[in-house]
Chains A and B, each alone.
Chain A
Amino acid sequence: MSIRSVIASIGPPLLFGVVFLAVWELIVAVFDIAPFTLPAPSAIWSAFTERFGQVVDETIVTGINALIGFLSGIVLGVLASLLTVRFRWIESLLTPLAVAVNAIPIVVIVPILNNMLFGTTSQVPRQLMVTLIVFFVVFVNVSRGLRQVSATHLELMRSYAATPSEILLKVRVPNAVGYLFTAMRIAAPLAVITAFVAEYFGGVQSGLATGVRNSLNGSKDVTWAYVIGASALGLTFYLVSSGLERLHGGSKNSG
């Protein structure tokens, strides 16, 4: 990429960001808005740098919760879709259950897990919550990838006298790989949001959402400092997963 094309691609959003922050700063100064209502970007930035260590600590807590839930959701989602495509009777058991569980709001599940199963000293309920959300996205997408194979491929495999396991391994699984990467790109930001929301509804006094909640009564610049941590975390998850998808997609264009 030439310097000119780099400037052309990142220039406009960068300029927009700078103008946006400048206007924000200006409005806060001109209308003399109290930091309790809306702090200026400069105030947020100094709160962020002042509490940098703390923001990083809470970001790591939330990040680890999201990551553990993300990875276990992927593993469980892939396993479940493999089982349902290989053994049809499992599908009739698992799919309605997965849909039903996914329809329960996080707000309801987290307190239940906190109070009844794990107590309020554990991160496990939050990780489980993320697992559940990621599982569903992966399960639905990978199942589709395993099923939507070309009719010609299936006829060919039958003409080769292939067994169902061979068809699964040599046609269905390779066909589903692209769907898995798409599921990961969709699920990655969801994992961070879910971890964040799960923290918000009680449990251990740690994590970004706890930081936000505890700062709401005071000056809002601290709250916004945690928001910076949250955006950075969500962005990291998104960039890594879409990077992985692109890396995989880059090896085949049309297919």
Chain B
Amino acid sequence: MSDSPDVHAVEIRGASMVFNDGGKGRVAALDDVDLAVRAAEFVSLIGPSGCGKSTLLRLIANLLEPTAGDVRVNGKPAEQARLDQDYGMAFQKSGLFEWRTVAKNIELPLELKGWDKRRRAERAQEMLELVKLPDRGEHRPWELSGGQQQRIAIARALASHPPLLLMDEPFGALDEMTREHMQSELLQICAATNTTVVFVTHSIPEAVYLSDRVVVMSAGPGRITDTIDVDLGRNRDDDTREEDHFYQKITEVREALRGLEVSAGARGIEDR
């Protein structure tokens, strides 16, 4: 399991990803990427549009197969980890199934794992309490606000208690206030469940606030250019956002990205 010190939650070696190889629209999305994520670590991937951060996340999830290189999750090949449902996933779109109630949405991964009805219902309620929406189980997804829908998507991703959570700009569509609130809640949930997180974002403050490590990527082809340790401690709250050290880290990440801007022209980075 991921508890043993020599097994990384995620280990990527020499991963390259080429779309339409040999074709007209050949795109080298990732080129020779190495990344290791320790158990219970929170790692953000940040970079300009087209730097391959979402592609990298999809390689970990085995939603895509790398053109070259090796991806291991929980010490297993990525495909085996996917088949074992070793990770949960959340996207920018909550991706809730509108024909299912909120509780039935959370139960879906458990249903596919063959859990019986009673155990599923119990777990769904437990997850609803974890994301602080205990009374919303029988509601339909569209009756919830955007932030609430995203919380349900996180509850669903964590329903089978996977050791790893993969998130692709999950708060990207939320307003600033809701977004900061959700960030604090995510940190609490991860601390409570001891979950490892790989988190793709466009926002520098979001990456700094959440992460133990911010991985900076560049485009054309996608590469990791810098890694910044964020030593803000584990107990972060809204006061953390006011600290000088927080601002220093934001500046550090911004400069790492700006270095790219000079060379490649970084686009789509949010300074908020």
Do they bind each other?
Answer: yes
**Is A85 engaged at the interface, CB distance under 8 Å to the other chain?**
no
How many pairs, one residue from A and one from B, have CB atoms within 8 Å of each other in the complex?
Answer: 55
Chain A positions within 8 Å of B140 at CB level: 252
Classify chain B's interface size.
Answer: 20 to 34
Q: Mark B172-210, 1 if CB is under 8 A from A, else 0.
A: 000000000000000000000000000000000000000
> Do the beta carbons of A171 and B82 come within 8 Å of each other?
no
> Do the beta carbons of A150 and B93 come within 8 Å of each other?
yes
Report which residue of A159, A161, A175 has the largest number of chain B beta carbons within 10 angstroms of its beta carbon.
Answer: A159
C-alpha spacing A158/B85, complex, angstroms: 10
A251 smallest CB distance to B (angstroms): 8
> Do the beta carbons of B85 and A161 come within 8 Å of each other?
yes
**Is A246 engaged at the interface, CB distance under 8 Å to the other chain?**
no
**Is A162 engaged at the interface, CB distance under 8 Å to the other chain?**
yes
Partner of B89, one of A159, A162, A177: A159
> Do the beta carbons of B108 and A170 come within 8 Å of each other?
yes
**Is B61 engaged at the interface, CB distance under 8 Å to the other chain?**
yes
C-alpha spacing A171/B96, complex, angstroms: 11
**Is A160 engaged at the interface, CB distance under 8 Å to the other chain?**
yes
> Do the beta carbons of A162 and B95 come within 8 Å of each other?
no
Q: Could you tell me the dominant secondary structure of chain B's interface residues?
A: loop
Partner of B82, one of A159, A166, A175: A159
Q: Mark B71-113, 1 if CB is under 8 A from A, else 0.
A: 0000000000011110111010101011110000000110111
Partner of A161, one of B82, B97, B99: B82
Chain B positions within 8 Å of A162 at CB level: 112
Chain B positions within 8 Å of A158 at CB level: 63, 82
Chain A positions within 8 Å of B97 at CB level: 153, 170-171, 174
Interface residues of A in 147-170 (CB under 8 A from B): 150, 152-153, 155-156, 158-162, 166, 170
> Do the beta carbons of A255 and B95 come within 8 Å of each other?
no
C-alpha spacing A153/B98, complex, angstroms: 11
Q: Mark B108-136, 1 if CB is under 8 A from A, else 0.
A: 11011100000000000000000000000
